[in-house]
């Protein structure tokens, strides 16, 4: 992986991590179009590790929330919500890696998720919870269970799963999206640490070139994600989710077209 490829993938990650369109699907498509092999172990670690840069943007944008230590319940809610993901991630790690190597499955999940988004507004019309403070510990755990759907079905989108989960529990669009952002921090931090540790153990460490590419990818993802989060919240409040449903369907069929035309290996 060279610097140009690291920058491009970092941009894709920063844009898509917090949008309900699956950063995993977009990075896999990008890797294939850039000629990066699915068998490249470092690229697999890279696409997970640069999510750390993206989630740091959440800490920066919502620093008052993350460093308001008097509100101890906020931290307990995140701990409760992240526990299911830690368990499912550990149990199904090998299965997830196998699915990630099959773009045709990701394409199908993209399309199905898009169809769900076309109807989400009509499915969940009642919204009585408009802030994190009003989210109960039980609802935090339930949202964490929804997040597991994204772990089991890469391409669904972690943010999409948690936002759908939040809205099904009567959270407003903005409250569901913000809690999804908050939950991304412990979830992706754990995933990044695990992947880095596993690669370190199996490959005897990172080369100086690999460390450089990780640093570049994380920095780019961080800067781009700062802009993407602000855009998403504003757009979501005005336009809702339907457009993201159409987008997912289009990208899903585009991915299928690329697979069947031979540009991307199935």
Q: Which domain holds residue 35?
A: 3-260
| pLDDT band per the 50, 70, 90 thresholds, residue 26 | confident
Residue 266 within any structural domain of the chain: no
Q: What is the domain count for the chain? A: 1
**Among residues of the chain, what percentage have pLDDT more than 70?**
94
86: CB partners within 8 A, 6+ apart: 190
Residue 80 within any structural domain of the chain: yes
Tell me what the mean pLDDT of segment 35-40 comes to. Answer: 71
C-alpha–C-alpha distance, residues 232 and 249, integer Å: 19
Three-point CA angle 194, 195, 201, nearest 5°: 90
Q: What is the pLDDT of residue 239?
A: 76
Residue with structure tokens 């997912």? 248
Residue 225 within any structural domain of the chain: yes
| pLDDT band per the 50, 70, 90 thresholds, residue 36 | confident
Residue 265 within any structural domain of the chain: no
Given a cut of 80, whether residue 23 has pLDDT beyond it is: yes
Residue 166 within any structural domain of the chain: yes
| pLDDT band per the 50, 70, 90 thresholds, residue 265 | low
208: CB partners within 8 A, 6+ apart: none
Q: What is the pLDDT of residue 94?
A: 63
| pLDDT band per the 50, 70, 90 thresholds, residue 204 | confident
pLDDT in tens, 50-97: 988 998 999 999 888 888 888 899 999 999 999 998 888 777 766 666
Q: Retrieve residue 234's tokens.
A: 């504003």
The backbone torsions φ and ψ at residue 183, rounded to the nearest 5 degrees and listed phi first, read -65, -25
Name the nearest CA neighbour of 193 among 90, 40, 72: 90
pLDDT in tens, 211-221: 999 999 999 99
């Amino acid at each position: 992986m060279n610097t140009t490829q690291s920058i491009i993938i970092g941009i894709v990650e920063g844009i898509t991590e917090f949008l309900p369109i699956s950063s995993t699907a977009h990075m896999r498509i990008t890797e294939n179009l850039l000629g990066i092999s699915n068998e490249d172990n470092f690229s697999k670690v890279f696409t997970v590790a640069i999510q750390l840069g993206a989630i740091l943007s959440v800490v920066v944008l919502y620093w008052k929330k993350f460093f308001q230590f008097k509100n101890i319940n906020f931290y307990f809610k995140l701990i409760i919500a992240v526990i299911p993901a830690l368990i499912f991630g550990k149990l199904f790690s090998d299965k997830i890696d196998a699915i990630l190597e099959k773009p045709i499955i990701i394409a199908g999940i993209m399309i199905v998720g898009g169809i769900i988004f076309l109807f989400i507004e009509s499915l969940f019309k009642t919204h009585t919870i408009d802030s994190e403070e009003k989210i109960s510990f039980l609802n935090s755990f339930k949202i964490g269970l929804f997040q597991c759907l994204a772990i089991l079905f890469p391409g669904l989108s972690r943010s999409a799963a948690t936002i759908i989960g939040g809205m099904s529990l009567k959270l407003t669009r903005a409250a569901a999206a913000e809690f999804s952002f908050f939950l991304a921090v412990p979830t992706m931090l754990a995933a990044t640490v695990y992947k880095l540790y596993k690669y370190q153990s199996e490959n005897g460490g990172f080369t100086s070139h690999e460390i450089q590419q990780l640093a570049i990818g994380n920095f780019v993802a961080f800067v781009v994600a700062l802009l993407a989060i602000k855009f998403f919240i504003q757009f979501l409040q005005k336009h809702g989710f339907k457009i993201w449903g159409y987008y997912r369907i289009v990208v899903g069929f585009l991915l299928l077209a690329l697979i069947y035309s031979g540009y991307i290996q199935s």
